Amino acid sequence: MSSVILFNKPFNVLSQFTDKGLEGSARETLSNYIDVPEYYAAGRLDKDSEGLLVLTNNGRLQQQIANPKHKWPKTYVAQVEGSPRESELEELRKGIRLKDGITRPAEIELIGEPAGLWPRNPPVRFRKTVPDSWLMITITEGRNRQVRRMTAAIGFPTLRLIRYSVGDWTIDELDSGVWRYAE
């Protein structure tokens, strides 16, 4: 029987079960949190990003979620340095040129700080002289570090990035570092 695991990945955790990095490194991996055999991540989430990671034991579903040609929407909450204007957000809505080409149009809105947000360890750096803002961004592709590169391209570097949803699955009622089977 195939099923799906929803995991709220903490900051600084690799999106894989083993660390193939430096010999003797002690980086946290999915195996520090999930002890269920034969499940694999459907797509990736950088170690410095947090939030929803979908795992499945169904190879076909894994490929559908991860492959951009299927256009699964992925929604992120991004804390950015500065206060973008509507005209700057519109550039992202239309698609913006990055080094690897123009992005597909994104849905984006300026939001307040999300309620119930868990603390990040280590905390995001705080600068009294530079404001920060929160954006909700939905994309249908998954280029390497895409959301971070998009916000930087309009002059607002990402300070914290949390994937809120993949398709209809969300991290609602799922604390950081906790997983459950999808219903």
CATH code of the domain containing 135: 3.30.70.1560
pTM: 0.92
Q: With beta carbons less than 8 A apart as the criterion, state whether 165 and 74 touch.
A: yes
pLDDT tens track, the chain, 183 positions: 569 999 999 999 999 988 876 666 678 999 999 999 899 999 889 999 999 999 999 989 888 888 878 889 999 999 999 999 999 999 999 999 999 999 999 999 999 999 989 988 888 877 777 889 999 999 998 888 999 999 999 999 999 999 999 999 999 999 999 999 997
Q: How many structural domains does the chain have?
A: 1
Cα 163 from Cα 158, distance rounded (Å): 13
Q: What are the residues facing 51 on neighbouring strands? A: 9, 163
* Tens-digit pLDDT profile for residues 89-120: 999 999 999 999 999 999 999 999 999 899 88
Length of the chain: 183
Range of the domain at 145: 4-181
Active site residues per annotation:
46
> 21 burial class (0-12, 13-18, 19+ CB within 10 angstroms)?
exposed
DSSP assignment letter at 59: H
Cα 129 from Cα 116, distance rounded (Å): 26
pLDDT given at position 140: 93
> 52 burial class (0-12, 13-18, 19+ CB within 10 angstroms)?
buried
